[in-house]
Chains A and B, each alone.
Chain A
Amino acid sequence: AQSVTQLDSHVSVSEGTPVLLRCNYSSSYSPSLFWYVQHPNKGLQLLLKYTSAATLVKGINGFEAEFKKSETSFHLTKPSAHMSDAAEYFCVVSASNQFYFGTGTSLTVIP
């Protein structure tokens, strides 16, 4: 069975400080993992994806994520938060032609 757990429903950081959004997954197969971002009243945009190549994945807007099989984690990081990063972030595992979404983490960036 596939599932995704986003460990924090809300994260608040100051502008210019690092961002860490945590995600653990469960998958019966070698998973494909994704992070998506959703800005208010917008659709979802792909930030980055892991598909069994390099374990450190770089995405758009300075985000990156590291796949750790031993910890079944796929945490999203960014060295320095920007005001425009304020949004909802979703960790997703793909298996059997389905996407399994986490419950989302709302990121607030304080000026």
Chain B
Amino acid sequence: KAGVTQTPRYLIKTRGQQVTLSCSPISGHRSVSWYQQTPGQGLQFLFEYFSETQRNKGNFPGRFSGRQFSNSRSEMNVSTLELGDSALYLCASSLPSGSLYNEQFFGPGTRLTVL
């Protein structure tokens, strides 16, 4: 099976712009989670989608949003970019909850740099 793929791998934007990141989960996985990783804050949970519905949300401002499509692919959007949004954004997919093997499989990430 192909792994989790994320596009693009690298992005450079300027403050005030918006950005959309894409994630394709492993085939058969219906849950997709997004994380922000920075040197200062570590790995922080953004949100999780399951069957096109946001099931969990972390403590991020409303500028961060996401969605999931019927094929389980997911996008996240960040509007009005700030310098502090520079980070590695990781997407992870997993089988639905209740599975004994609900580990998350991570993509390689999208490196976002805000200038």
Contact = CB atoms under 8 A, between A and B. Distances in A.
Interface of A: 32, 34, 36, 42-46, 49, 51, 90, 94, 96-101, 103-104
A90 B43 contact: yes
B106 A43 contact: yes
> Which secondary structure dominates chain B's binding surface?
strand
Contact of A43 (B45, B90, B101): B90
A31 to B, nearest CB: 12
Interface residues of B, number: 24
Contact of A99 (B42, B100, B104, B109): B104
Which of B55, B101, B105, B106: most chain A Cβ within 10 A? B106
Given A51-B100, A97-B56, A103 B42 contact: yes
Which of A44, A51, A103: most chain B Cβ within 10 A? A44
Contacts of A43: 4, 90, 106-109
Nearest to A6: B42
B22 interface: no
A32 B42 contact: no
Contacts of A99: 33, 45, 92, 104
Which of B4, B42, B48, B90: most chain A Cβ within 10 A? B42
Contact of A97 (B97, B100, B106): B97
A23 B50 CA distance: 29
Given A34-B103, A46-B103, A96 B56 contact: yes
Interface in B31-75: 31, 33, 35, 42-43, 45, 48, 50, 55-56
